[in-house]
Structure 1
Amino acid sequence: MSKKILIIAGDFVEDYELMVPFQCLKMLGHEVDVICPDKKAGEQIKTAIHDFEGDQTYTEKPGHNFTLNASFDEIDETKYDALLIPGGRAPEYIRLNGRVIEMVKHFDNEKKPIASVCHGAQVLVAAGIVKDKTCSAYPACAPDINTNGGTWVDIGFEDAYVDGHLVTAAAWPAHPAWLAKFNELL
Structure 2
Amino acid sequence: MARVLILTGDAAEELDSMYPVFRLREAGHEAIVTAPTTRAVKLVVHDFEPGCDAYTEKPGHRLPVDLAFGDVNPEDYDALVIPGGRAPEYIRTDPDVARIVRYFFGKGLPVGTICHGPQVPAALRLLRGRTTAAYPPLKADVENAGATFVDGPDVVDGNMVSCRGWPDLPQWSRAFMQVLERANVSA
Give the structure-1-normalised TM-score: 0.93
The aligned residue for residue 183 of structure 2 is: none
| Counterpart in the other structure of 2:117 | 120
| Structure 2 residue matching 1:100: 3-state secondary structure | helix
| Equivalent AA in structure 1 for residue 47 of structure 2 | D
- The whole-number CA distance in structure 2 between the counterparts of 1:4 and 1:75 is 12
Give, in angstroms, the shift of residue 71 of structure 1. 3.1
Instruction: State the partner residue of 2:48.
Output: 52
Q: Which residue of 2 aligns with 1:96?
A: 93
Match of 2:77 in 1: 80
State how far apart, in whole Å, the 2-side matches of 1:52 and 1:84 are: 23
State the alpha-carbon separation in 1 of the partners of residues 24 and 79 from structure 2. 11
Among candidates 160, 172, 179, match of residue 173 of structure 2 = 179
SS at 1:63's partner residue?
A: strand
Equivalences for residues 1-186 of structure 1 within 5 A: 2-37=1-36, 39-40=37-38, 43-54=39-50, 55-155=52-152, 159-186=153-180
The answer to whether the 8 A contact 2:69-2:96 is kept is no
Q: CA deviation at 1:72?
A: 2.6
- SS of structure 2 residue aligned to 1:120: coil
Query: RMSD in angstroms over aligned alpha carbons?
Result: 0.9
| Partner AA of 1:45 in structure 2 | V
Q: 55-64 or 2-11: which moved more?
A: 55-64
Shift of residue 73, structure 1, vs aligned partner: 2.3
Unaligned runs of 5+ in 2: 181-187
Shift of 1:19: 0.8
Give the secondary-structure state (helix, strand or coil) at the position aligned to 2:120.
Answer: helix
Instruction: Tell me if the contact between 1:167 and 1:178 (Cα under 8 Å) persists in the aligned partners.
Output: yes
* CA distance in structure 2 between the aligned counterparts of 1:147 and 1:68, rounded to whole angstroms: 32
Q: Quote how far apart the aligned CAs of 1:176 are.
A: 0.6
* 1:70 Cα deviation after fit: 2.2
| CA positional deviation for 1:80 | 0.5
Letter in 2 for 1:65: R
Deviation at 1:150, TM superposition (A): 0.6
Q: 1:123-166: per-residue Cα shift (whole Å, max 9, x none)?
A: 010121110011100012111110111111112xxx21001111
TM-score with structure 2 length normalisation? 0.93
Identity of aligned residues (%): 39
1:147 & 1:74 partners in 2: Cα distance? 32
Aligned-partner Cα distance in 2 for 1:56–1:136: 21
